Amino acid sequence: MEQAPKNLKNAVALAYGAGARAPTVVASGKGAIADQIIKLAKEHGVYVHESKELVALLMDIDLDREIPGELYRVVAELLAWLYQIEAAIPPNKK
């Protein structure tokens, strides 16, 4: 019997729209699915943040569900950091 690799990559995609209460999990997966999520994000210019600990917590959330209140602060800090990075990029480089 073949064992699954222990170090499969995980990925979770969040969406946060204007007026939303909290970010929502819109995709998650392991292995090849995680690779596809990351590939699509990069193809569409979406920043990919690597945090095994945060991804592990987000993997437990069902699709189309808001992140729990316990994760608001860490995700908000990450989003604020990303907005600062985007604001610093000249318009012709975006």
- Over range 71-77, report the average pLDDT: 91
DSSP code of residue 48: -
> Percent of the chain at pLDDT above 70?
89
Domains and CATH numbers, the chain: 10-93 (3.40.1690.10)
What rounded mean pLDDT belongs to the chain? 87
> Residue 76 pLDDT > 50, yes or no?
yes
- Which of residues 78 and 30 earns the better pLDDT score? 30
| Contact by Cβ (8 Å): 76, 69 | no
**Residue 65: predicted pLDDT:** 96
pLDDT tens digit sequence for 4-40: 456 679 999 999 888 889 999 999 999 999 999 999 9
